[in-house]
């Protein structure tokens, strides 16, 4: 029966031929490749004699078809009742034709497939039935589902949209549509019902998804996470550039004490991929109300987690603060310059000025401003900050870059102006009550430039954005230890990576063999 997904892939290909990538991107349409659909179907714990399934955002039905393939292999007769949502008119007819074919093939093997295709908006249809406690009245859904399997659409939702207003109690800020789908799917499950979804990893951390994470994980329990090492291979036919995860979770009934984590490079997932099993609290961090999802994919990652999380403090507990550079270039065009023009100016620092441990300015780049005019207007708009000792962090990197974290020291002694401009793609770190000392500045930069903390941050966050929420939750040494580290680092010629890493790991109390291994990996 493997021809079911092969046939579905052909239908997908024909639809691609009739539509443009831009059109599909606007609609948030990213179809599930057969290999991934088959893996997701395999995560369903069991196929009971009668299974009620929801496929929200069905497309041409790849995920339901993958479940049908699994049903077809069963010896005992099975009844599969599926509700599918698909609002794209061009896809509805293809979906119906595809499922009619599956129905006839399953009947040949003694199984029953009954399906209902709803061509209305899933978010509006389900959210309209939420009561004040975010529970579903479900009159038009007949009863709760045993399982939900889905690849929801990915697109930003306007804050003033009908979707956002209906679910503002669950998802706040400027969320993505997939979070709405996950929340409503969770509400539609019966106790112990399972949700299998492939989504961006972005919901695992960050401020925008904090409300969603709390709502979701108060009702759902993680069982399995599958991570894709490549941000492009899983959905290369759709030109998607993002870190994707497959999650399997169940509606709270039986409590899970562990989470299984697997990884593949892309869509070709081994039949039995390498797996690590972690305690539930090691994956879902609820200690500060953030509900952060950490995803280590190797024993080495787990060791790094243990080392970093054994540090005695959190970043903000020792008086450290992190803010975003205030200069948004397209909003400050009247105050930024490529070349000085005789007016009083101060340096404008951007990501390309940030190197490991040092701030390099000026750096000439076409169309990149170098100066901010220092005047009453720029001060009133709070575009400038006082010149002090800071640690600068790039806010955006790519997964393919060698490092996620790059920290530079911005030193007051090296600046000629009383104020300075920091562009919005930079974060800057300072002390809440006083100026950082020189040693503290270098010590903090050394922590962020270390291999061990960079690796830990990748476990903590899959975003290409270095999010301030994750930084605030990092475990840190004391300020005294940071100053001691800074003294050592300042004496290392050109901050040689091997010696700097050894100094950091010595402060963290990590063994010499682990130091040598990490330096070799770096």
Question: Tell me: the pLDDT tens digits for 258-308?
Answer: 999 999 988 888 777 889 999 999 999 998 888 999 999 888 888 888 888
| Residue 390: per-residue pLDDT | 98
| Residue 522: per-residue pLDDT | 43
State the residue for tokens 């290392």. 492
By the 8 A CB rule, do 274 and 263 touch? Answer: yes
Low-confidence ranges of the chain (pLDDT < 50): 132-134, 136-139, 143, 519, 521-522
Residue 147 exposed, middle or buried by CB count within 10 Å (0-12, 13-18, 19+): buried
H or E element, residue 446? helix 438-449
By the 8 A CB rule, do 275 and 229 touch? Answer: no
For the chain, state the CA radius of gyration: 26
- Count of Cβ atoms closer than 10 Å to residue 265 Cβ: 11
| Residue 17: per-residue pLDDT | 82
H or E element, residue 311? none
Judged by DSSP in three states, 40 sits in helix
| Residue 70: per-residue pLDDT | 95
Pick one of 3.40.50.1360, 3.40.50.2300, 3.40.50.720, 3.40.50.150 as the CATH number of 3-220.
Answer: 3.40.50.150
Q: In the CATH scheme, what is the code of domain 316-521?
A: 3.90.220.10
Task: Domain ranges for the chain, please list them.
Answer: 3-220, 316-521
Q: Do domains 3-220 and 316-521 have the same CATH topology?
A: no
By the 8 A CB rule, do 149 and 64 touch? Answer: yes
- Count of Cβ atoms closer than 10 Å to residue 356 Cβ: 18
- d(CA 221, CA 249) in angstroms, rounded, equals 5
Candidates 477, 475, 516; CA nearest to 498 is: 516
């Amino acid at each position: 029966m493997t021809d079911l997904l092969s046939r579905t892939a052909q239908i997908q290909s024909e639809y691609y031929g009739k539509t443009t990538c831009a059109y599909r991107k606007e609609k948030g349409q990213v179809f599930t490749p057969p290999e991934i659909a088959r893996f997701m179907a395999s995560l369903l714990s069991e196929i009971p004699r009668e299974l009620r399934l929801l496929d929200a955002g069905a497309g041409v039905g790849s995920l339901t078809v993958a479940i049908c393939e699994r049903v077809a292999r069963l010896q005992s007769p099975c009844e599969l009742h599926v509700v599918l949502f698909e609002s794209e008119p061009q896809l509805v007819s293809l979906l119906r034709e595809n499922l009619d074919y599956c129905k006839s093939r399953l009947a040949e093997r003694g199984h029953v497939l009954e399906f209902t295709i709803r061509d209305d908006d899933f978010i509006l249809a389900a959210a309209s039935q939420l009561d004040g406690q975010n529970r579903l009245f479900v009159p038009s859904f007949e009863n709760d589902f045993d399982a939900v399997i889905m690849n929801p659409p990915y697109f930003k939702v306007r804050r003033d949209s009908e979707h956002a207003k209906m679910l503002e109690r669950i998802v706040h800020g400027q969320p993505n549509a997939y979070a709405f789908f996950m929340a409503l799917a969770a509400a539609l499950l019966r106790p112990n019902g399972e949700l299998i979804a492939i989504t961006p990893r972005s919901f695992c951390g960050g401020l925008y998804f904090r409300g969603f994470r709390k709502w979701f994980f108060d009702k759902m329990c993680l069982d399995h996470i599958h991570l894709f090492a490549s941000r492009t291979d899983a959905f290369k036919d759709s030109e998607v550039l993002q870190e994707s995860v497959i999650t399997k979770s169940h509606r709270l009934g039986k409590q899970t004490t562990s989470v299984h984590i697997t990884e593949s490079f892309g869509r070709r997932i081994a039949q039995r991929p390498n797996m690590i099993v972690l305690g539930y609290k090691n994956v879902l961090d609820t200690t500060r109300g953030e509900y952060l999802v950490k995803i280590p994919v190797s024993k080495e990652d787990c060791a790094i987690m243990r080392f970093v999380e054994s540090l005695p403090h959190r970043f903000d507990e020792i008086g450290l603060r992190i803010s975003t550079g205030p200069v948004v270039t397209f909003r400050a065009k009247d105050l930024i310059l490529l070349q000085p023009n005789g007016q009083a100016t101060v340096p404008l620092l951007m990501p390309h000025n940030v190197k490991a441990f040092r701030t390099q300015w000026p750096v000439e780049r076409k169309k990149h401003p170098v100066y901010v005019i220092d005047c009453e207007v720029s001060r009133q708009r709070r575009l400038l900050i006082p010149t002090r000792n800071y640690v600068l962090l790039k806010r955006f990197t790519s997964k393919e870059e060698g490092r996620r974290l790059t920290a530079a020291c911005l030193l007051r002694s090296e600046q000629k102006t009383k104020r300075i401009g920091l562009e919005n793609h930079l974060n800057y770190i300072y002390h809440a009550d006083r100026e950082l000392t020189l040693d503290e500045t270098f010590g903090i930069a050394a922590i962020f430039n270390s291999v061990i903390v960079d690796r830990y941050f990748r476990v903590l966050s899959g975003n290409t954005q270095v999010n301030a929420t994750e930084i605030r939750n990092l475990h840190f040494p004391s300020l005294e230890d940071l100053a001691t580290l800074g003294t050592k680092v300042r004496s290392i010629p050109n901050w040689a990576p091997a010696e700097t890493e050894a100094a950091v790991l010595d402060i963290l109390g990590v063994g010499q063999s682990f130091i040598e291994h990490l330096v070799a990996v770096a």
